[in-house]
Amino acid sequence: MTTRRKSKRGQSAVEFIIILSFVLFFFVLFFAVIRNNEAQKNKEKENLILQNIALDARDEINLAAQASEGYFREFKIPLNVLGTDYNIQIIDKRVYVNASRFGVSYAVVSVNGILKKGVNNITKQNGEVYLNK
């Protein structure tokens, strides 16, 4: 009789471990799916912010080009995007903004000078647009 009780207890312990393993597996799977979804949303948010930075820079340059002589304005470009470093530059009449996973560019008018992170000064003198000069 004692061997049957031990056998039932042993079987119950094995069944408990199997059930616990399934519950743990689904728990880990659930959190992996949530984490993946969160990472995707952060990536989309980062891409949207990078697009907005490029559009803001483009708009500032185009506004200066359309403004009257002597125009001056100070504007800021963020130092990072959600804690991630990125690059911003003007090459061949295009504003380029890129990070490790995403990049965007927009056409701008001819501009003299460089675009930098932080505070930028933009002016219009003699019909030309100058950045940080």
Give every strand in the sheet of 87-91, ordered side by side: 87-91, 94-98, 103-107
pLDDT(4) > 80: no
> Taking residues 123-127, what's their average pLDDT?
94
Q: What is the pLDDT of residues 49-90, one digit of tens each?
A: 999 999 999 999 999 999 999 999 999 999 999 888 999 999
Q: Express as a percent the part of the chain with pLDDT over 70.
A: 93
- The residue ranges of every structural domain in the chain are 2-131
The band of 1, judged by pLDDT with boundaries at 50, 70 and 90, is very low
DSSP state of 116: -
> Taking residues 19-48, what's their average pLDDT?
92
